[in-house]
Amino acid sequence: MDSAPDGDPKALLKAVDNLSKEDINVIHVGDIKGQLIDEAIQPLKPKIIVEMGTYIGYSAIRLASEALKMEQDVQIHTYDVNAQMVEIAQKMVNKAGLDSVIHIHHGRFHDLAPELQAILGSENPVDLFLLDHWKPSYVPDTQRLMELGLLRRGSLLIADNCLIPGAPEFVDYIQKAPEWNSKMVKTLYRENLTDEDGVIFAAYRG
Ligand SMILES: C[S@@+](CC[C@H](N)C(=O)[O-])C[C@H]1O[C@@H](n2cnc3c(N)ncnc32)[C@H](O)[C@@H]1O
Ligand SMILES: [Mg+2]
């Protein structure tokens, strides 16, 4: 990571992608799924983004870089239960020069959601949220956003790892729930492997 210059998110993301080619334990979303996500958010031009599962900050930095190509006042709120990850991610975000855009919250989204509601207010719904944390939390965290009125018609949900490691309860929920219009895109689980994963993209009908 040190090889990337400060204030250069693209170089930092590339350094993480390169590291993951050597180290199978790196569990970031990666460049293949990253490109799918970049393309999906282009028509949305999201300003308010929420992410569950910060890890080392890769996806938050990637989402911020892409969103900032289209809008200036972007804010990302990202949640992680692991204090060590929060610390590493903050260093990565600082290195990328995105600390005024990416706000890292330590804890479970379920507990911190009222705080987010207060930060955003009623006029600023979430445009995009990415689920990439503990799979059994995908359904309750989605429902939490809905019950607190944090979404708008057209808000986009993206859920990683729906097939590997798999989130069967979530897949069943999102495909049946009348509030969501979803599709699963099959893609490689990660670079250098042939296993197929599924990423769900779902638009909120309101
Ligand atoms: C696969 S990693 C996220 C990868 C990240 N989105 C990226 O692409 O760089 C999953 C992360 O979710 C965190 N996590 C697990 N359970 C969680 C929960 N209930 N709420 C928030 N974060 C959680 C873990 O600590 C871990 O850092
Ligand atoms: Mg993932």
Q: In the chain, where are the structural domains located?
A: 9-204
Residue 206's CB is within 10 A of a number of other CB atoms, namely 11
Taking the model in full, what pTM does it have?
0.96
Indicate which residue's Cα is closest to atom 11 of ligand 1: 53
Q: Using the atom order of ligand 1, give the atom closest to the CA of residue 27.
A: 1
58 lines ligand 1 (CB under 6 A): yes
Which tens digit of pLDDT belongs to each residue from 29-73? 999 999 999 999 999 999 999 999 999 999 999 999 999 999 999
Q: Which of the residues are catalytic?
A: 132, 135, 160-161, 191
Assign domain 9-204 to a CATH class: alpha beta
Q: What is the ipTM of this complex?
A: 0.99
Which tens digit of pLDDT belongs to each residue from 153-172? 999 999 999 999 999 999 99
